[in-house]
Amino acid sequence: MTNPKQCLACNSDLQGRPDKKFCDPYCKSAWHYSKNRDEDAGFYHKVDRQLKTNRKILKSFNKAGKATVQSEVLLGHGFDPKFFTHYWKNNKGDVYLFVYEFGFLTRKENGKKKYILVTWQQYMEK
């Protein structure tokens, strides 16, 4: 007599196929969710999470389309300037880094580092 297999999620006895691992779709989904949640996020997930964080922060500080914010303020909210999606160079040679539609330019004024925040405009496509 063989011991019945148990569901990996809820430990209830399994009925049916010999290779069955879960008692129902809910347990299968719950087990995979907890497994993925407990594992370290891969490189892609870390980058994606930081890009989303950066976009959210830039959007919250740039309500009017253009703003200037001290770097400590953005960095204090979790902003990381190393994560951006693309860049745009203006006629003066300034390079704006963008996180999707929200961009920033690093400036140093009066010895303090600041970010000039902008929103992507149609003329920047060229």
Are the C-beta atoms of 83 and 54 separated by less than 8 Å? yes
Tell me the mean pLDDT in the region 31-36.
84
pLDDT, tens digit, for every residue of 45-104? Answer: 889 999 999 999 999 999 999 999 999 999 999 999 999 999 999 999 999 999 999 999
Do 52 and 85 share a domain, yes or no? yes
Same domain, yes or no, for 19 and 56? no
What is the average pLDDT score of the chain?
A: 90
Q: How many domains does the chain have?
A: 2
The reply to whether 24 and 11 lie within a common domain is yes
Cα–Cα distance for residue pair 120/102, rounded to 1 Å: 6
Q: Is the pLDDT of residue 1 over 50?
A: no
Specify whether 102 is located in the same domain as 116: yes
| 23 and 54 co-located in one domain | no
Instruction: Based on the fold, state whether residues 116 and 56 are members of the same structural domain.
Output: yes
Domain residues for the domain of 98 are 43-125
Query: Are residues 19 and 69 located together in one domain of the fold?
Result: no
Amino acid at 123: Y
Do 52 and 70 belong to one domain?
Answer: yes
Does one domain contain both 28 and 74? no
β-pair type (95-99, 66-70): unpaired
Say if residues 87 and 97 touch (Cβ distance below 8 Å). Answer: yes
- Residues in contact with 28: Cβ distance below 8 Å, sequence separation at least 6, in sequence order: 9, 21, 22
One domain, residues 20 and 34: yes
pTM of the model: 0.69
Q: Are residues 55 and 114 in the same domain?
A: yes
